[in-house]
Amino acid sequence: MYEFVTGPLAWIAFTIFFIGLIWRFIWYIRGLDWQMDRVSYGRNVGYGVKGAARSIMRWLIPFGTHGWRFYPVFTVLVFVFHLCLLITPLFLKGHNMLLDERWGVSLPTLPEALADTMTVAVMVAAVLIFMRRMALPEVRILTKAYDIVLILIAVAPFFTGFMAFHQIGDYKLWLILHIVCGEIMLVAIPLTKLSHFLLFFLSRAQLGMDFGVKRGGMKSAGMPW
């Protein structure tokens, strides 16, 4: 089973992940109206690029926008959750050992104690985000079972990895479950709302170009709207 989930199943998951993200990117770009929708994409490129970069960078900095500053506790939870969610798998020692064994590729690794702390941080942040969804009426009314399932998909690799690392119960079972959960998340990213992994940057760039070109970013006439 281990050979299967780290071999053919892993190849399938990574293939769907990368091809799915490429498809998402192309579909998003093709969906833009290049003449009338929001931005004069073909002209005023400099203003558009500056606006896009500013929008992305502001949203990537904690409290860099009014929206982040308005909900400070939620902002901390979101950044802890996403940073640990991205950094931990990439630089985990066990993952890089597996990558090196299978494909001869490896990255720098985190100290095990730090990786363990970040794993716990993901799970705690996820629980608190879920509690917020349930506690606030304006968020609860928008929350569907689908959204809860996506949170579980994102957290499951960390929970199973934590159980396997600390050898709580059947180590081999938790290890297999950890790998399978990670592969499910890879497949889910391009096929679900988890695609904001990519679409965040595209949508923020589009909005940033809109404001950079049309909302006071420049002051000239004759732009194609």
Whole-structure pTM value? 0.84
Count other Cβ atoms within 10 Å, centred on residue 190: 21
Give the tens place of pLDDT for each residue, 30-67. 877 655 555 566 667 777 788 888 889 988 988 888 88
How confident is the model at residue 42, as a pLDDT?
Answer: 65
State the average pLDDT for the chain.
86
| HEC string for 127-160 | HHHHHHHHHCHHHHCCCCHHHHHHHHHHHHHHHH
Give the tens place of pLDDT for each residue, 110-135. 999 999 999 999 999 999 999 999 99
In this prediction, what percent of the chain has a pLDDT beyond 70? Answer: 89
How confident is the model at residue 225, as a pLDDT?
Answer: 39
How confident is the model at residue 222, as a pLDDT?
Answer: 45
What crossing angle do the helices spanning 93-103 and 72-91 adopt, rounded to 10°? 40
Confidence of residue 216 (pLDDT cuts 50, 70, 90): low
**Fold for domain 2-10+45-214?**
Fumarate Reductase Cytochrome B subunit (1.20.950)
Where are the chain's structural domains?
Answer: 2-10+45-214
SS3 28: helix
Q: Is the pLDDT of residue 223 over 50?
A: no
Give the tens place of pLDDT for each residue, 157-215. 999 999 999 999 899 999 999 999 999 999 999 999 999 989 999 988 888 887 777 66
Query: Scanning the structure block, which residue is given the tokens 């506690």?
Result: 135
How confident is the model at residue 104, as a pLDDT?
Answer: 79
How confident is the model at residue 7, as a pLDDT?
Answer: 78
How confident is the model at residue 96, as a pLDDT?
Answer: 86
For 100, residues 6+ apart whose C-beta sits below 8 A from its C-beta are 106
Q: How far apart are the first and last CA of the chain?
A: 57
Q: Is the pLDDT of residue 103 over 80?
A: no
